[in-house]
Amino acid sequence: MADGEDVGEVQPGLSEQYRKASPWPMLVAFGFVISEIGVVLGLFPITVGGLVLFGGTVAGILSESGYVQQTWASLLAIGGVIIALGVTTIGLNVDPSALSVEVLLDVTRPFVYRGSAITAAGLCLVAVGATIRLVQPSQARDPP
Count structural domains, the chain. Answer: 1
pTM for this model (two decimals):
0.78
> Is residue 106 in a domain?
yes
How crowded is the C-beta side of 103, counted as CA atoms within 13 Å? 10
User: Does residue 43 fall inside a structural domain?
Assistant: yes
Q: What pLDDT is attached to residue 97?
A: 86
Tell me the Ramachandran region of residue 133: left when phi exceeds 0, alpha when psi lies from -120 to 50, beta otherwise: alpha
| 37, pLDDT greater than 80 | yes
Q: What is the pLDDT of residue 143?
A: 54
118, part of any domain? yes
Segments forming the whole domain that contains residue 119? 24-136
**What confidence tens digit (pLDDT) does each residue in 40-72 have?**
999 999 999 999 999 999 999 998 888 998 899
pLDDT digits (tens, 9 = 90+) for 92-130: 999 888 888 988 888 899 899 999 999 999 999 999 999
